Structure 1
Amino acid sequence: MRLLLKPAMLWGWVWILLSATIATASPGKKWNGVRNRLAKTEEKLYQGTVFDDQSIPLPGALVTVSGKNLTRNTNQKGYFELTASTGDTIIVTAMGFKPFKYVLNTEQQFAITLDIDNRTLPLAQSSVVQQIYNTVPKNLNISSTDAVYNADIMKSPVTSFRNAVTGRLAGLYTLQTSGLAGADGATLSLRGQSPVIIIDGVVTSLTTFDLEEIESVTVLKDALATAMLGARGSRGAIVVTTKKGSANKQQLSFSAQTAVQQPLTWSKPLNAYNYATLRNEALKNDGVPANSGLYYNQTALDAYRNNSDPINYPNVDYRRAITKNTAQFNRYTFSASGGNKSARYFVSMEHVNQGGFFTTVDSNTYNTNNNFKSYVIRSNVDLNITNKLSGGLYLLGRIQNTNEPGVSSGTIISNLLNTPANAYPLLNANNSFGGTQLFQNNLLAQTIGSGYRQRFFRDVLVNLYLKQDLSDLLKGLWMKGKVAYNSTLAEDINRSKSFAVFQQTGNAYAQFGTNGTQGNSNGIAYQGRMDYEEFSIGYDRSIDRHGINLLVLANRDNTTDANDAQALPYTIMGVSGRLAYNYDGKYMAEAAFGLNGSNRYPPAGNTKLGFFPAFGLGWNMEKESFMKPLSAISRLKLFATYGTNGWDNAGYFMYYPRYFDGPSPYFGTGAGTVTSVTEWTLANPNVTFEKVNKLNIGVSGAVLDNRLSFSVEYFNNKFYDLMMQRGDNSPLLGNVYPNENIGKIRYFGWEGQLSWQQTVNKLQYFVAINASTVNSKVLYFDEVRKPYPWMYQTGQPVDQRFGYLADGLFQSQAEVNSSATTAGYQAQPGDIKYRDLNRDGIIDQNDVTAIGTTKPLLYYGVSLGASFKGFDISALFQGVENRNVYLSGNSYWAFQNNGTGQAYEHNLNRWTPQNAANATYPRLSYGANINNDAPSSFWVRSGDYFRLKNVEIGYKLPTALVGKIGLSSLRVFANGYNLFTSSSSQLDGLSPESFAGGFPVLKLYNLGINVKF
């Protein structure tokens, strides 16, 4: 601990020393009287500032005068005031720091720096809550938030923070459906909605950049937390705060990491013999004549089984032929931070090289693999320009380069699903690419012989602010101005080429396609920019036991659509504000609002701007006198919020009537001079904002000397005025109806967190659990009138899947004859049997109903870790319950694409008379089967899974050892990502996330070293 003293404070220490000497020398009544007279002073106003160990002002610290019922909380600048007597002892406490005692003396202005509590583990890394435009002391926060910090984010060897937060934040659900390099970011859902991404107070779409530069990722979940976003607050927000410099000596850090990537799972296609056997069976089931020429004869079957003629009867595992089992992932990061009272800086640079899985050949003079490379530089500088004026300049530059085969990675993955093992040999006897008239897209040729294509991303983000302290006018008053600019560009280079394939018959070769020359074109894929302006004024003051925090902000956000160069700019502007009050850190009240709108609404009327208010109350119960006997309770807070948020979903100037004409905008007579004019979708002049009323109630606390912490929250969010098209409308109008603000849905659920952390001698350990449930209900959906109640979406969960209720498989012709018939289809044994809900004897659209679970989605994360004498280990488990997936299409069904598609190992367990009792797949059909392929509960499977998401083990060498070579620290570590997954056997071995046939999610084994000097 350090105490920062001004010269005059020396007299205080003299007084303390004198008092101690008198007390020690003679405890008698005479000397006691002298001491008491010396100590007796009038009360004075003391002003202090509390800093953390990085010399950064510490808001929310609790200052208590020992022996008196007098407490204060530091404000946003770490400042506090109190009236006390010289000789009184104050105790300063803050979560994550050691308590500090200080005896008041004649020095009425002083500063205190707190030391980190070595017993504190990663569960409590900050005493403040980061919000959109400000921070709030954690003990005074009453909005619903959760945060993860850099130490945990860096444990995952990924390129996007979206993949690093999985399982770590209550209320946030992530789903990663692809592991393709450069396109592997998980989708985010916050209490059922897609949240806004905010970086250092500016809305942006960037999520892939240097993880080292991230200080924290905070989710804002309730109406109060996002009220100041106004028309963009209804879906919640994710606030990314980047690292800033501190007034300390320069520290340099370098990290190097290298990882091995492996796909979690691929689909398992049949070999040529099984494929041919099952296709013959499918043809027979469908009654295809034996002389149709579609059947494989016994000669072919024997050749496929024996691999005796790989040219005429190939048996190729195309996936193994064109992909590798592993690929490299390398990351290098360098950062520097430091500064003084006048200037502080944080600078980082990162390079990532993520290798791809496609096969390459040395004969190519260019790269045909699907690689991803990025270069990111971050520079954050904060300045004290004068005693009252401060400012900062935050810069982010990002370069990303992707490379892939000329036909594109997506095309190759798609063709893997559509190409059976006996389609063609990859290479003929003369090393030409194999193929047929039906299969001309040789997968090896696509991978190594189609040239290459590249995309270059360029992004620049500039964030500049100036802040003026106006305490000369009114203590605690300040104003701030900010501007930001974001430019994004993606340029494509296409060097692809066509290729020919050859079908070998004996010594003859039939050619299909041509060997084209390599192209050389480039173009802008998209280009966009954003400019942001903000002005705010605030007041932050503690007066006696009253704490007041006021913020009023006006801003404008102007964006040019990167995907549509002809679109007009999209502009949101307005004002917002926040007022927070606390009494003695015990009772908290807060109100916030957003008043804004966009240029997508009619200029006249009352829909141009929307007003979105929210308020909340909080109570720190541990401060009450009746709680003092309950010494085991360290913290206990009740809080509740309610408010309205909005969402701007007006569409592109949909209030204007629009007409489109033909390519020749002129009128006249004669051929080619008549122009047709078509009216577009009907205009909606009454379009307004979508809205949501959000209720959040919670309790949080800690017991047993802060070792056991807990938090429980309930939320209920009613969305209304949602944009949707009327279903009960008339086609007589002859035009398309517009979207209108008529929909209503509700999301509700629970979130809970429980953690234990303790230090036993030199062993520190922690366990933390978070779990969330999300349920939903359609309150109003303007549906087409339907004859039966089970057909309606209203009353069902949002996005509920509809289809037929499967009742097993027909086991005999007698069962077929005694069951309801399917409209337009003659069922056979082995087909899926459906329930006749309206009992009319016919399976048709009137029997369609909700399928799959209606239980709330449950997702959770379990973190645990320990450290001992330089060693540390941590692990993260996460999982999902009550999740359904729908298996269908080329990745699961046999013989798609009119019978020419792939078949898979799970298709072996199809229904046959011999396997009727154990079949899990209906009888085979050649191509589409309108009965078995119909949407039904038969294809709804459990998507639940439990995963070991992350494990890290590290060792930090002793400081005394590394100091001899001029280093301040050296840590070596190893971690893994997606190491183990347990999922339902109903998925037939498919990934619970990337089950639809895309590029598999990856498993990574990573080694790294971090050096600081």
Structure 2
Amino acid sequence: MKSTLKIYIFLMLALSALSSKAQEPDSKVTISGTVKDNQGNAVEGVSIFIQEKASNNLTAKDGKFSISVTGNDVIYFKKQGYNLVQKPALELDGAVVVLTLSLIDAGDDDDVYIPFGIRKKRSVSASISTIKGSELPQLPLSTLTNSLSGRLPGLYIKQSGTRPGTDDASFLIRGRSSYNSGQAPLVLVDGVERDFVNMDLNEIEGISVLKDAASLSWYGMSAANGVVYVTTKRGDAVKTKVTFDAQGGAQTPINITSPLNSFQFANQSNQHALNSGLPLVYDQTALDAYQSGSDLVNYPSNNFVDRFIKDVAPVQRYVATVSGGNAFARYFTLVSLFKQDGLYRGAETPDYNTNSNYKRYNFRTNLDLHINKSLDVKLDVGGRVENLQYNTAGNGTFLNTIYNTPSNAFPLLNQDGTFGGSSLFRNNPLAMLTANGNNNDLSRTLLATVDVKHKLDFILKGLSANAFYTYDITSAYTYGFNQNYEIYSSTGGGTFERFGNSTPLQYKSSDFNNNVRGNEFWAGLDYDRTFGLHDVKFSTRLLRSVNAAPGRLDYKRQAITNRLSYSFNNRYFADVVAAYAGSENFAPGKRYGVFPAVSAGWILSEENFLNKVKAVNYFKLRGSYGIVGNDDLFANRFSFNNYFTRSSGGYNFGTSFGAANGSAELTLGNPNLTWEKAKKASIGFDGQFFNQSLQLAFDLFHENRTNLLTTDILPSIIGQSVSLINNGEAQYKGFEMAMGYNKTFNKVTVGINGNFTKSKSKIISISEEIGLPAYQSQKGFQIGSVIQGGDFIRRFLVSDGLFQTQAEIDAAPVQRFSGLVRPGDIRYKDQNNDNIIDNLDFINTNYSDVPDTYYGFGTNVKYSNFDLSVQFQGVAGRTIQINNLINSTSASANYVNQFSTESWTPATAATAKYPLIALNNRGNNTQNSDFWLRSGDFLKLKNLEVGYSLSSSAVKKLKVNAMRFYVSGFNLLTFSKVSELGIDPEIPTAGFNSDYPYITTFSAGVNLKF
């Protein structure tokens, strides 16, 4: 396969050289032809442009033209009201050039990218939302996903990280209909399964979100969760274009923990001891010393957060692009540098740096070769080099140390310059940064694509053969320094106890790991033909893909996919899509399935009953229905097989005293495992009103998903656990809408955008324990859970305030989550009326971290040379928990943190926000209950950008085509119901526990065009 591909590329390049020589591109020739519309009428006054030249010719009354060109020229035909047409010069002599009227949603800027095809928005009957790369904000972010927040209907984006190089986000399209996974959509770049989060913004031509069966069935059992379809920029032969962007900015932490000082910590520790009936932890001498700060050696007072977290960290981004071409080749090339520094203070040593820094280089070249009239080739090469740096202990351990180590635990440095510490607290943050080594993760990614199209008009006009092959490889290399430190704890009288052993600086063992190769091969036929008012397009492809890595079996897929599109009079549209796809996740003989879908569109505004309504310029009704699959079942690979492992005890045979190794059977396989089957239905409309100034889109959608994995409830008499079975069912339904308004008022141009999505899920079938109380059943509830640490919680106790007196405790049901219940503890409701609060009183709920409503809105304003853009994102129907924030510290820190001052005491009983905190018998107050739940709804000003473009006279003097200066901000404002807690509702643990702080980004930049 590889050798054949190489030979084919060599032949194409040879053909290109021979073709160029034969055509003598530098010699002048005169060509003539005729321009007509799609009705066959001659078109007068069409402007004819020659690439890179100032010439401008017009067609005569009879549509004829005659111009002098070279073989390398590309000719452009342009007239108001018609779509632009471009043709290689040497294909025009004697030809008839057909111009198509620019119908609404069928203009030059109305392309919609679908799998291995391009359609005008007018002809799309599936549910697809799109955004151009030029509409996205210029933000210096290490991942692109967050720049999409609040911009597309049906697409929910939740930021899930903030650390340099890992400020990722999760996607959800429309809703959840599976309780086995987060339902992450398939991400495709130029039709290939690739991650796009680490691409540079200037690589992106556009992003489409494919949401219904008609747009997803092409991918068979890979796309039931939706598709994010990214297209990259390509060269334009009209004119050579050179751009350069430079951005510099600052990132500042917000909503970070505020540790108590030593005096506050000591007071709270004493209060917790009193609550527990234990002796005081600190005497008055210690309290006085902490308050006065008179003896920082024996009574230290640290603020580790202020000491080790900076107020600001720099971020930089530089991008250069070059694009252009001629009749035979077009190219787009990009190189970029992104650099993001971490927030750790004092992390740089003479030998290494332990800050959480990230650096990335991106590169891309997309090349389009027009070999001859019948053969076109695309050669794309892209990739990146990334370096992520961090301290040896790991960011989580380091942050947990500075957030949760008591301020009085030890002095950072003893009087003799050694590192301070204690038997309880052996992590010294200063030593972790300066004497513990560092790690560097270097990854390299290469993405290559060959796309060949050969016209077969000699067989059937409009027929072409296509081959598409990718070679993607990612390698990871880890290196760094090793070093260990020792700490010294004062034992009084000038003596110290040592913990740990210091080791000299040395290189770590370098390691190549996570080397992954991916290949996709698509081959097939396309047919594109117009017969009068009838337009027919057909595509068929064979797919074979492989994903390989050392130490595991390859992942493989194969499929045959087909799509038939028909339109009549550019008014009625229909599509039929079907895929026959297979997955190795299932037993032989049960690996393949058929995934069909249909869609239709009708432009009502061109019918007699509506075309005279002046307010309605365009109105299209569309709908779709089909079946898509999902083979990512969140189960072990090859779960259809039975597996055995070496037994731990072994067996004795004969007179031997030693046991011989035996084997033990693992979880039983399920040979009947199959994919999830998603039946998707969608109906909606697209409309433009009031001279196309107002655009509206609306969709109703419903999905029913069957064959969900669930446990197999069988008697335990066989003494063996069994595999999961496809016996679950769930659904979601809802609606989405999008709005756009654009209008010019004198010198001010205003654009307004908005989108809104409402989706609700429901569990229809799931295996549950026999005898489960009805109030603990998940059936009928929505899919979702509240995240606590790594757990997903659905069942909660129902709280009923706090106990205020012992009499209340005596009169209430017995609470068995703690050995002792005291005034100030949480009171729970008895759900089964047995006068006991235990595990039978947890109830299933609809609380979920995933919102049922998400929306976005913004505006763009232009006046003179100034421009302003603002974008908001909001969510509703979302729940977060604060249990692991309020109860974040351990017994070694006496369970004291910044929230402890608002816990219950006899003196604060009337105003306390949180229950009593004690050093013992704490189980009652740390249970999963609605006491710790809060609204996770929010509205965020996601980004704001203000720009100024120099006037044409000014840029002429600078010898550039355009220059724009701009300032931007990201994550600028948040409105929520948890703002008083000082936490972010999107990532509640950011800046707490062991998570990197939430970040606001400010930047300034300049864009140059040459």
Matched, 1:295 2:285: no
Preserved contact between residue 82 and residue 100 of structure 2 (Cα < 8 Å): no
Partner of 1:759: helix, strand, or coil? strand
Q: 1:360 aligns with which of 334, 346, 359?
A: 346
Match of 2:855 among 854, 860, 881: 860
Matched AA of 2:643? R
Counterpart of 1:373 in structure 2 is 359
2:211 aligns to what? 221
Q: For the residues of structure 2 that align with 1:710 and 1:543, how far apart are their CA atoms?
A: 32
1:245 aligns with 2:235: yes
Q: How does 1:824-835 map to 2 (within 5 A)?
A: 825=818, 826-835=820-829
Q: Point out the more displaced range, 511-520 or 223-232.
A: 511-520
- Once the two structures are superposed, residues 471-524 of structure 1 have per-residue CA deviations (whole angstroms, 9 ceiling, x without a partner) of 232222112101001111111114132111111334322211111223421113
Q: How does 1:641-680 map to 2 (within 5 A)?
A: 641-649=624-632, 651-661=636-646, 670-672=656-658, 674-680=660-666
Q: Is the 8 A contact 1:417 1:901 kept in 2?
A: no
Q: How does 1:77-116 map to 2 (within 5 A)?
A: 92-93=81-82, 109-110=96-97, 112=99
SS state of the match for residue 368, structure 1? coil
* Structure-1 residue corresponding to 2:615: 632
Q: Following superposition of structure 1 onto structure 2, how do residues 489-508 of structure 1 map, counting pairs within 5 Å?
A: 489-504=475-490, 505-508=492-495
Q: Contact conserved, 2:521 with 2:545, CA < 8 A, in 1?
A: yes
Describe the shift of the 1:269–1:927 C-alpha distance in structure 2 as closer, same or farther (beyond 3 A): farther
1:596 and 2:584 matched: no
2:675 corresponds in structure 1 to 689
Cα displacement (A) at 1:113: 9.7
**What residue number does 1:1011 align with?**
1008
Tell me which residue corresponds to 1:416: 402
Distance 1:975 1:257 in 2: 10
**CA separation in 2, counterparts of 1:318 and 1:353?**
26
Partner Cα distance (1:325, 1:856) in 2: 32
Matched, 1:129 2:112: yes
Cα distance change on mapping 1:713 and 1:313 into 2, 3 Å? same
Q: Residue 808 of structure 1: CA displacement? A: 1.1
Q: State yes or no: 1:737 paired with 2:737.
A: no
Whether the aligned pair in 2 keeps the contact of 1:861 and 1:876 (CA below 8 Å) is yes
The question of whether the paired residues in 2 share the 8 Å contact of 1:805 and 1:851 is answered with no
Are residue 203 (structure 1) and residue 196 (structure 2) matched?
no
Q: How does 1:956-995 map to 2 (within 5 A)?
A: 956-985=949-978, 988-995=981-988
Q: How many matched pairs? A: 924
- Structure 1 residue ranges without an equivalent (≥5): 14-42, 57-78, 80-88, 99-105
Whole-angstrom CA distance in 2 between matches of 1:967 and 1:858: 46
From 485, 503, 506, the counterpart of 1:516:
503
- Deviation for aligned residue 1:729: 2.9
One-letter identity of the residue aligned with 1:592: V
Q: Which moved more, 1:844-853 or 1:335-344?
A: 844-853
Compute the displacement of 1:743 (Å). Answer: 1.4
- C-alpha contact (below 8 Å) 1:52/1:115 kept by paired residues: no
The equivalent of 2:454 in structure 1 is 468
Which one of 540, 544, 550 corresponds to residue 532 of structure 2?
544
Letter in 2 for 1:110: V
Change (3 A) 1:236 1:286: same
Deviation at 1:787, TM superposition (A): 4.2
**Amino acid of the structure 1 residue aligned with 2:146:** N
- Greater shift, 401-410 or 457-466, is seen at 401-410
Task: Give CA deviations for 1:251-278 in whole Å, capped at 9, x if unaligned.
Answer: 1111110010111221222222222222
Equivalent in the alignment of 1:879: 874
Comparing 728-737 with 239-248, greater Cα deviation is found at: 728-737
Shift of 1:170: 1.0
In structure 2, distance between residues paired with 1:524 and 1:142: 48
- CA 1:54–1:723 in structure 2 vs 1: closer, same or farther (change >3 Å)? farther
Segment of structure 1 superposing worse, 340-349 or 160-169: 160-169
Once the 2 structures are TM-superposed, how far is the Cα of residue 214 of structure 1 from its aligned partner?
0.6
Q: 2: CA distance between counterparts of 1:198 and 1:560?
A: 18
Aligned equivalent of 1:62: none
Correspondence for 2:224: 234
Q: How does 1:761-776 map to 2 (within 5 A)?
A: 761-776=746-761
What is the one-letter code of the residue matched to 2:675?
F
Q: Percent identity?
A: 30
Give the C-alpha shift of residue 987 in structure 1. Answer: 6.2
Which of residues 991, 994, 999 in structure 1 aligns to 2:996? 999
Contact 1:52–1:114 under 8 Å retained in 2 = no
Shift of 1:850: 2.6
Q: 2:424 aligns with which of 438, 443, 453?
A: 438
Shift of 1:676: 2.6
Cα deviation, residue 91, structure 1: 7.9
Coordinate RMSD, CA, aligned? 3.0
Which amino acid is the alignment partner of residue 972 of structure 1? F
Question: In 2, Cα distance between the equivalents of 1:222 and 1:246?
Answer: 32
Aligned to 1:716: 702
Single out whichever of 652-661 and 989-998 deviates more from structure 2. Answer: 989-998
Task: Provide the C-alpha distance between the structure 1 equivalents of 2:111 and 2:548, rounded to a whole number of angstroms.
Answer: 35
Write the deviation string for residues 113-164 of structure 1: whole angstroms up to 9, x where unpaired.
Answer: 99999xx9xx999302111221221011111111222123242221222111
> Is the 2:82–2:99 contact (alpha carbons within 8 Å) kept by the matching residues of 1?
no
Q: Structure 1 residue 762: deviation in Å?
A: 3.0
Q: CA deviation at 1:907?
A: 2.3
Conservation of the 8 A alpha-carbon contact between 1:155 and 1:950: no
Q: What do the CA deviations read for 1:227-256 (whole angstroms, capped 9, x no partner)?
A: 110010101010110000111221111111
- Contact conserved, 2:222 with 2:630, CA < 8 A, in 1? yes
Normalised to the residue count of structure 1, the TM-score between the two structures is 0.87
Residue 286 (structure 1) shift: 2.2
> What is the aligned counterpart of 2:916 among 897, 908, 923?
923
1:913–1:665 Cα change, 3 Å: closer
Shift of the 715–51 alpha-carbon distance from structure 1 to 2, 3 Å rule, reads farther
Q: Is residue 36–residue 96 contact of structure 2 (8 Å, CA) maintained in 1? A: no
Aligned to 1:556: 544
Alignment of structure 1 residues 522-533 onto 2, 5 Å = 522-533=510-521
Q: Is the 8 A contact 2:519 2:547 kept in 1?
A: yes
Distance 1:186-1:614 versus aligned 2 partners, 3 A rule: same
C-alpha distance after superposition, 1:822-878 (max 9, x if no partner):
125332111111111111111112111134647962111112011122211111111
2:767 to 779, 782, 788: 782
Would you say the 8 A contact 2:301–2:407 is kept in 1?
yes
Structure 2: distance between partners of 1:529 and 1:269: 47
Paired AA for residue 495 in structure 2? A
**Mapping 1:24-103, distance limit 5 Å:** 92-93=81-82
Q: C-alpha displacement at 1:110, in angstroms?
A: 1.9
Distance 1:824 1:936, change over 3 A: closer
Alpha-carbon offset, residue 980 of structure 1 = 1.2
Give the match for residue 567 of structure 1.
Answer: 552
Q: Distance in 2 between matches of 1:144 and 1:116?
A: 20
Letter in 2 for 1:260: A
- CA distance in structure 2 between the partners assigned to 1:206 and 1:661 by the alignment: 42
1:155 to 105, 115, 138: 138
Q: Is the 8 A contact 1:392 1:464 kept in 2?
A: yes
Structure 2, unaligned runs of 5 or more:
1-28, 53-74, 86-92, 176-182, 786-793
Report the residue type matching 1:321 in the other structure.
Answer: R
1:595 partner amino acid = Y
Deviation at 1:756, TM superposition (A): 0.9
2:68 corresponds to which residue?
none
Residues 116 and 659 of structure 1: CA distance in aligned 2, closer, same or farther (over 3 Å): same
The whole-number CA distance in structure 2 between the counterparts of 1:954 and 1:554 is 47
Paired with 1:596 and 1:254, the residues of 2 have a C-alpha distance of 44
What SS does the corresponding residue of 2:621 show, helix, strand or coil? Answer: strand
Evaluate the alpha carbon distance shift between residue 116 and residue 718 of structure 1 in structure 2; reply closer, same or farther with a 3 A threshold.
closer
CA gap 1:142/1:361 in 2 versus in 1, 3 angstroms:
closer
Letter in 2 for 1:942: S
Q: Does structure 2 retain, via aligned residues, the 8 Å contact 1:407–1:496?
A: no
Q: Distance in 2 between matches of 1:969 and 1:116?
A: 31
Alignment of 1:779-818 (within 5 A): 779-800=764-785, 801-818=794-811
